[in-house]
């Protein structure tokens, strides 16, 4: 009987990872969930799964809470499982009771696509004035300490704003330092039309071989710049230093609704590859180039 029990225990231990493959452990947190305007919240999706599974994590769409940084941390456990921490740094300059919306995580097990929804998480953004008023209402706070506390809150808010501005400047500088190549579009005057310049740049990008080398971020960073430079030339409005959300807001009154939808879908796809380290299927790359050419063609023909 003892030998049979030992054998059963060994079988359970050996087959335990199979259960993990069918049902990854997925959880999400947002810390802290109450901040002052200008401070940041770290929204983290943690997944423990079998190393043979393929994971597809969501990216928050920009709304009242803006995504300012994305980070993915992966660790291999001795048990053969993998833990992935998908972190997004959120920020808002508008006070209110906001919510990180319900997210859906997809994964593939033995060729079958499965998913799990992550519940929404409430986030409260308060102004420094509200914080000061709340402190004044505390019965334990002594009047002689209030001026010092007010200055602490003011200085803290100012330092937070400066830190966010410095982070944004660093991210823009890092993006500008991407490795250039001869086919990258140059901002210079030309007798050619914006359409001709854009299509020539896409052709050079396609033959440069970033995709074959696995340099997806460089490929889609250059494709994003080609599209923004075409939009700037064609619409006589600079989009070169605008984020995706800023571009979509500024371009909305300048183009038709259908072209705007196609542009939004393409820009969000490229942001996912650049910032979330997502590797799409091979046919998605040629499809992205085709969509870029279609948008260029539609906007070039709008006045014809």
Structure tokens at 99: 């919510």
Local confidence band at 103 (pLDDT 50, 70, 90 cut-offs):
confident
Q: CATH fold of 2-125, please?
A: Immunoglobulin-like (2.60.40)
Query: In which element (H, E) is residue 218 found?
Result: helix 216-235
Q: What span, in angstroms and rounded, lies between the C-alpha atoms of 123 and 198?
A: 42
For 25-37, write each residue's pLDDT tens digit.
Answer: 888 888 888 888 7
Q: What span, in angstroms and rounded, lies between the C-alpha atoms of 217 and 228?
A: 16
Q: Which of 4-8, 122-126, 138-142, 166-170 has the lowest mean pLDDT?
A: 4-8
Q: What is the pLDDT of residue 14?
A: 44
For 242-274, write each residue's pLDDT tens digit.
Answer: 999 999 999 999 999 999 999 999 999 999 888
Query: Would the pLDDT of 135 be above 60?
Result: no
Q: What is the mean pLDDT of residues 10-38?
A: 65
Of 277, 264, 252, the closest CA to residue 59 belongs to: 277
Summary count for the chain: helices (H), strands (E): 9, 10
């Amino acid at each position: 009987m003892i030998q049979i029990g030992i054998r059963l225990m060994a079988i359970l231990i050996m087959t335990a990872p199979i259960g993990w493959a069918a049902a990854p452990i997925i959880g999400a947190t947002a810390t802290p969930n109450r901040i002052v305007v200008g401070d940041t919240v770290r929204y983290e999706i943690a997944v423990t799964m079998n190393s043979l599974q393929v994971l597809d994590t969501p990216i928050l769409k920009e709304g009242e809470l803006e995504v300012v940084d994305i980070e993915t941390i992966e660790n291999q456990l001795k048990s053969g499982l993998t833990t992935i921490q998908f972190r997004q740094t959120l920020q808002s300059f508008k006070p209110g009771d906001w919510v990180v919306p319900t997210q859906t995580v997809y994964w593939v097990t033995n060729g079958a696509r499965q998913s799990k929804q992550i519940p929404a998480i409430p986030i409260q953004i308060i102004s420094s004035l509200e914080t000061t008023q709340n402190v004044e209402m505390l019965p334990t706070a002594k009047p002689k300490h209030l001026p010092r506390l007010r200055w602490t809150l003011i200085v803290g808010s100012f330092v937070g704003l400066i830190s966010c501005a410095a982070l944004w400047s660093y991210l823009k500088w890092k993006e500008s330092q991407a490795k250039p190549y001869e086919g990258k579009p140059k901002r210079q005057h030309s007798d050619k039309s914006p359409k001709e310049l854009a299509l020539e740049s896409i052709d050079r990008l396609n033959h440069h071989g970033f995709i074959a080398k696995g340099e997806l971020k460089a490929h889609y960073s250059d494709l994003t710049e080609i599209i923004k430079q075409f939009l700037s030339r064609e619409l006589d409005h600079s989009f070169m230093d605008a984020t995706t959300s800023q571009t979509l807001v500024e371009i909305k009154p300048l183009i038709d609704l259908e072209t705007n939808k196609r542009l939004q879908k393409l820009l969000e796809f490229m942001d996912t590859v650049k910032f979330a380290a997502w590797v799409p299927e091979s046919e998605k790359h040629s499809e992205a180039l085709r969509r870029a050419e279609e948008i260029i063609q539609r906007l070039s023909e709008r006045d014809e």
